[in-house]
Chain A
Amino acid sequence: MAKPQEVTDTNFDEEVIQSETPVLVDFWAPWCGPCRMVAPIVEELADEYEGRVKFTKVNTDDNVNTAVRFGIRSIPTLLIFQSGELAGQIIGFRPKSELKNNLEKVLTQAAT
């Protein structure tokens, strides 16, 4: 199973902002119950979208600067970046179908 890549304050720009493929970033922390429910769904999506979307995650405890930079005030928060720009966001635990819809929307926009 494709595991989302851990991204940190140090390499966020390189791995997310400068990425040519769209990137989903899962902001999470070990103490957050709903984050632990989102994680397996994100892993499933990472499999389904392999090669089309890059999947990453940011531990907000260890990477406070990145959390502050994007105004994260609630986790889980999923952000989707396309060519360095914020293209989608999902706050809180949402069903898989809704996450897919958001990804599809970004991919459709990227194709046009």
Chain B
Amino acid sequence: MAQSNNYDIIVIGGGPSGLAAGLYAARGRRRTLLLEKGVVGGQISLTDRVENYPGFPEAVNGFDLAQAMLQQAENNGMETAYVEVTGMEQSENNLWRVKTAQGDYTAKAVIITSGADYNRLGVPGEERLTGRGVSYCATCDAAFFKDEEVAVVGGGDAAMDEGLFTSRYASKLNMIHRRDELRASRILQERALANPKMQFLWNTVVDEVVGDNQVTSLQLKNVITGEKSNIGVSAIFIFIGQHPNSDFLGGLLPLDEGGHIHVDDWMRTGLPGLFAAGDVRKNSARQVVSSAGDGATAAISADHYISNNFPD
């Protein structure tokens, strides 16, 4: 049977926000399609332990949580396609046309939950040695550095969390942070600062990742004194924040200076039938639970919009 490419609601991006939006949209009996370019779960699919999602007192593996969310949404009728969105436009009859490498889809409403991607340092050696000691996923790679000395860059929750995970394997962790205090949540700070394997290098940035086929050392600089130094490590795990995935929109919507989409309390963008939720929107709390909440709000909002604008 040939599947029609016409949907009521298309959700772009399969992180917690998109999966919650898909669940609510499908339960509203709207024909719903989720488009995902890579791994369902988004950033949490790389997280070992999600400890702050309500309902899981013993914490939950991020990948498992995402798979459970996907299963729940699909059980309720959501369809999923693994394809990257290349652009979108609103055509006549107020229908949205979503363009992908595998053809176009149309929908009465679109919810953008494209999330955020991790930032790179942008220093020499980083790209060349990715997968050869440079890593953005401690959960994936830490086990390959058993009893070796490594570095972790960043001062937020992700850096502490992934550093703590890596400390199960590595012999020593150099925690490199450009400021003299952490912005991670208190509970993670306490654990990291008490961990005997984690040594903090404050006010320090990475100038270069050094190595031929594998990372062998890092060129560091103290931002206060300007003093340069070199430390021997076989891996560098980088967790220095993220940027919203909004490039594919082109000039469709005005974005803030960080690339986030402006929405109102009901996750409406300025364009009819177009909603945004989760990390891609401005002022997101960037938590699994708040993103899921955003997604639900956007789906309810989209449902109302369709009822009001596309009478049966």
Contacts and interface: CB of A to CB of B under 8 A. Distances in A.
Given A36-B63, A95-B37, A95-B84, A72 B144 contact: yes
Interface residues of A, number: 24
A4 to B, nearest CB: 19
Contact of A34 (B45, B61, B130, B133): B45
A96 B81 CA distance: 13
Given A32-B139, A33-B63, A67-B144, A73 B45 contact: no
B18 to A, nearest CB: 16
Contact of A71 (B130, B135, B214): B214
A91 interface: yes
B213 A75 contact: no
Contacts of A8: none
Contacts of B45: 33-34, 37
A71 B216 CA distance: 13
B39 A75 contact: no
A92 B84 CA distance: 17
A91 B235 CA distance: 16
Given A71-B213, A71-B214, A34 B131 contact: no
A97 interface: yes
A74 interface: yes
A29 interface: yes
B39 A93 contact: yes
A33 B37 contact: no
Contacts of A92: 130-131
Contacts of B130: 74, 91-92
B308 to A, nearest CB: 37
A77 interface: yes
| Chief secondary structure at chain A's binding surface | loop
Contact of A33 (B62, B82, B132): B62
Interface string A34-78: 111100000000000000000000001100000100011111110
Contacts, number: 67
Contacts of A76: 140
A112 B76 CA distance: 51
B39 A32 contact: no
A77 B131 contact: yes
B131 A91 contact: yes
A75 B131 CA distance: 8
A74 B45 CA distance: 16
A71 to B, nearest CB: 7
A37 B64 CA distance: 12
Contact of B214 (A36, A73, A95): A73
A37 B39 contact: yes
A73 B141 contact: yes
B117 to A, nearest CB: 13
Contact of B140 (A61, A71, A74): A74
A74 B131 contact: yes
The 7 tightest CB contacts between A and B, nearest first, are A33-B63, A91-B131, A74-B131, A74-B141, A37-B39, A73-B144, A33-B45
Given A34-B46, A73-B133, A74-B131, 9 more contacts: A29-B143, A33-B63, A34-B39, A67-B144, A73-B135, A74-B141, A91-B130, A91-B131, A95-B37
Interface of A: 29, 31-37, 60-61, 67, 71-77, 91-93, 95-97
21 contacts: A32-B140, A33-B39, A33-B45, A33-B139, A33-B140, A34-B137, A35-B140, A36-B63, A37-B45, A73-B132, A73-B133, A73-B144, A73-B235, A74-B131, A74-B135, A74-B141, A74-B144, A75-B141, A92-B131, A93-B39, A97-B101
